[in-house]
Amino acid sequence: MIPRAAAATTTPGTITGTGQAPCHHGEILQGVFLDAAGRRCAGLVTLPMAGPGSSAAFVRRPGAGPGALTVVPADRTKAARAAALTAAECARRTGQPPCGGELRLSGEIPVGLGMGSSSSDVIAAVRAVADSYGLRLDPPTVAALAVRAEHACDPLMLGGRPVLFAQREGRVLEVLGPALPPLVVVGCALGGGAPVDTLSLPAADVGRSDVRAYERLRALLRRAVATGSAELLGAVATASARRGQRVLGHPEFDALTALARRVGAVGVQIAHSGAVAGVLFDPTAPGLRRRVRGCLHALDAHGIPATRTFTTGTTPAHAKEIPHHGPAHRGVDRPAGPGTPRRPARLPAL
């Protein structure tokens, strides 16, 4: 916990805090790994993406009971739970009685595509409530609150560093390095962009050989980060995506990997809990523009909708944490306004 100055009071008796959180573009690697104690642990490495995220504003009302907490839009129940848990934690740390208030969320992250929409909402809510108490919670605390609120969360509270993250426990299994190798990603949506209900997916049967395979991919990804190899990263992402098809079973997967080979991409990555996918390119490869154009034409020919093309890697936006705390603390964030229902199957295009 980092104490901060009190957040701004907007009207008598209320105190407002704000928070933000980014999204991601699905996973590079996801599976079951061994932690430092040799225990099996579900883990993932996400692909960071600058762009749409969640913003939250929490209007704290001292004197209102802790049960008097509302959220707008009303369907963001996970974020509401996170706000209530955070309010109780912050009240305990500051010696104040817990109270209610109103949480308002806005954002343009599509739901169901595997881009971390619920985690982004939850983390933004945690930061906004903490901001209203004049606190900045450290990432492990934010992660613990997020897991309590939604049972699993993505590592969006950690900035752009590549980490192997235990999403059901809210802890880092390994920091893989300072930044991923630079990539150009041509994003697309499989299954016509239809949302994926992850709770309805069958549980994967993971045996010893699977854990050994995931550990080999972990070692290869560690080497890719250490050497800055986009080619090796692409191989890891493709292998992880292929293993994920045992559960997801995207009918376009074979076509996607084949067209990636034809246009000279280093691989593909697919969200393991959604429909978003990306064709990965080494930005230093000759004829990059031609390769990307060929990829877009091939996606169109196969009826796979392209979404956005973006870069990731060692740029400053991804090499350090994105500013995410309220104007009372950092002077950089805009307060969140009322949210509108998210469009379920669209990604903003560049």
**Residue 88 pLDDT > 70:** yes
Tell me the fold of 2-173: Ribosomal Protein S5; domain 2 (3.30.230)
Give the per-residue pLDDT at 192: 75
Q: What is the pLDDT of residues 139-192, one digit of tens each?
A: 999 999 999 999 999 999 998 789 999 999 999 999 999 999 999 999 999 987
In the chain, where are the structural domains located? 2-173, 177-317
| Phi, psi of 203, rounded to the nearest 5 degrees | -70, 135
Q: What is the per-residue pLDDT for 13? A: 65
The answer on pLDDT for 350 being more than 80 is: no
Q: Residue 210: is it exposed, middle or buried by C-beta count within 10 angstroms (0-12/13-18/19+)?
A: middle
Does residue 341 register a pLDDT over 70? no
The chain-wide mean pLDDT, for the chain, equals 86
> Residue with structure tokens 């982004």?
120
d(CA 246, CA 238): 13
pLDDT at position 232: 98
Q: Which CATH superfamily is domain 177-317 in?
A: GHMP kinase, C-terminal domain (3.30.70.890)
pLDDT interval class at 323 (50, 70, 90): very low
Instruction: Report the candidate in 155, 189, 200, 160 with the shortest Cα–Cα distance to residue 346.
Output: 189
CB contact at 8 A, 184 and 3 = no
Comparing 45-54, 107-116, 268-277, 313-322, which segment has the lowest mean pLDDT? 313-322
Choice among 10-24, 30-44, 62-76, 294-308 with the minimum mean pLDDT: 10-24
| Residue 327, pLDDT score | 36
Tokens of 186: 């041509």
Angle, nearest 10°, between helix axes 253-262 and 230-248? 160
Residue 73 preceded by cis peptide, ω within 30 = yes
Query: Is 309 in contact with 187 (CB distance < 8 Å)?
Result: yes
Q: Helices (DSSP H) in 205-334: which residue ranges?
A: 208-227, 230-248, 253-262, 288-301, 316-319
pLDDT value at position 319?
33
Q: Give 17's pLDDT tier (boundaries 50, 70, 90).
A: very high
Q: How confident is the model at residue 203 (pLDDT cuts 50, 70, 90)?
A: low
Rounded to the nearest 10 degrees, the angle between the axes of helix 139-150 and helix 117-132 is: 120
